[in-house]
Amino acid sequence: MASILHIHLWFFVLHTFLCETQMGAYNSGFSVQLIRQNSPNSLFYRSDELPIHRLGSFYQVPKKSNAPSGPFTRVTSNNGDYLMKLTLGTPPVDVYGLVDTGSDLIWAQCTPCNSCYKQKSPMFEPSRSKTYSPIPCDSEECNSPFAYSCSPHNMCAYSYAYADSSVTNGVLARETVTFSSTNGEPIVVGDIIFGCGHSNSGTFNENDMGIIGLGGGPLSLVSQMGNLYGRKRFSQCLVPFRADPHTSGIISFGDASDVSGEGVATTPLVSEEGQTPYLVTLEGVSVGDTFVPFSSSEVLSKGNIMIDSGTPATYLPPEFYDRLVEELKVQSSLLPIDDDPDLGTQLCYRSDTNLEVPILTAHFEGADVQLMSIQTFIPPKDGVFCFAMAGTNDGEYIFGNFAQSNILIGFDLDRRTVSFKPTDCTKQ
């Protein structure tokens, strides 16, 4: 989520079951289109509103261009997050959940909601769905330390927390999920386990209807869909913050998520199978031709950074970040802004056009990934561009979604790899 580290603090150790599915010809995979909030096609579009947030904003809106063949769900961008459309229940109800590779649970705000944040769209009403099936307390799926109690009706209650202190509480249930497809035919997937949240709080906004966990744990959408396709993998292609608002990115599952061809670089996942977050090893970043090591000592920890679609900025160790900024200043012909208190200590430049700064190259273990200015500098206001990275002392380092844009990124949970391919995501 935007400005929210969705590193789940509690892990569910549940067995997931995916039963009757109507996949037809689409059992090879499917794609999810990413929709920007400020696109005229977005559910949340306002022509008089420019989404500006602490470091930037994404909203994802469906795009009908060159998406891979197969089913997809629409995803809208929202305050630095991506909102992915899942259609729940029978009859189907559209739910826009925050796309988050840093957590696992799929959940939506549900009625009755005794203590919930304000939501613009109607909440999911399980009582109206013919396919909603709460998980009973004595079931195998409820055998978890954090599926902590029984509701008065013998339903499996859960509590799931995030690093920013956001919390969702409710009951676990099975439900039918319907995806759109690129040929217009609906794709129905039965018995997806999700959380029906009846008490939810945190740094959400009124467009957020829940969270779609894409982490490596057993409850994530990736893992549950992987049980259908025989392989747990997905890919994403996020449009840059400064892209035309009419454009959109895409998320693909199954065979449609293959990242191959010229220019692909692959790095190993360090996190263990079935665990979240997705940890990789960043050896350093080059500014132009000058290499800036991640650590000034000779010791480099494996799995020192996570790839998180739910966080806009990239967060680095303060000492590494400071060295990176100093090298950028040395190689840039522009003068940093030092007279605008709104910008704080960020490295920012004034420019009326696209910013010309050195190319950065992120050196992951075995994979060099070039980052252009559109991926590393974002405009918090007109005529100003700020470095979309920051230093943090909390020890949790993140490769955020600004830097991930315009890269086709494939997560293969079975092979334990992440692959990167430079791609114009506005044309996917």
Active-site residue numbers?
Answer: 100, 308
Q: Give the span between the Cα atoms of 142 and 149, in whole angstroms.
A: 9
- What angle (nearest 5°) sits at the alpha carbon of residue 10, between those of residues 311 and 124? 70
Q: Are strands 233-237 and 407-412 parallel, antiparallel or unpaired?
A: antiparallel
Cis preceding linkage at 112, omega within 30: yes
Give the residue ranges of DSSP H helices in 287-370. 318-331
Please tell me the total number of residues recorded for the chain in this structure. Answer: 428
Q: Give the span between the Cα atoms of 413 and 230, in whole angstroms.
A: 11
Residue with tokens 């005229």: 40
Q: Give the span between the Cα atoms of 102 and 2, in whole angstroms.
A: 12
Q: Give the span between the Cα atoms of 211 and 129, in whole angstroms.
A: 20
Q: Copy the structure tokens of residue 290.
A: 């000058």
Count CA atoms within 13 Å of residue 363 on its CB side: 14
CB neighbour class for 231 (10 Å; exposed up to 12, middle 13-18, buried from 19): middle
Specify the DSSP class assigned to residue 136.
B
88 membership: H or E segment, kind and range: strand 81-88
Three-class secondary structure of residue 378 per DSSP: strand
CB neighbour class for 170 (10 Å; exposed up to 12, middle 13-18, buried from 19): buried
Cis preceding linkage at 91, omega within 30: yes
Three-class secondary structure of residue 305 per DSSP: strand
Specify the DSSP class assigned to residue 240.
P
Q: Give the span between the Cα atoms of 109 and 210, in whole angstroms.
A: 6
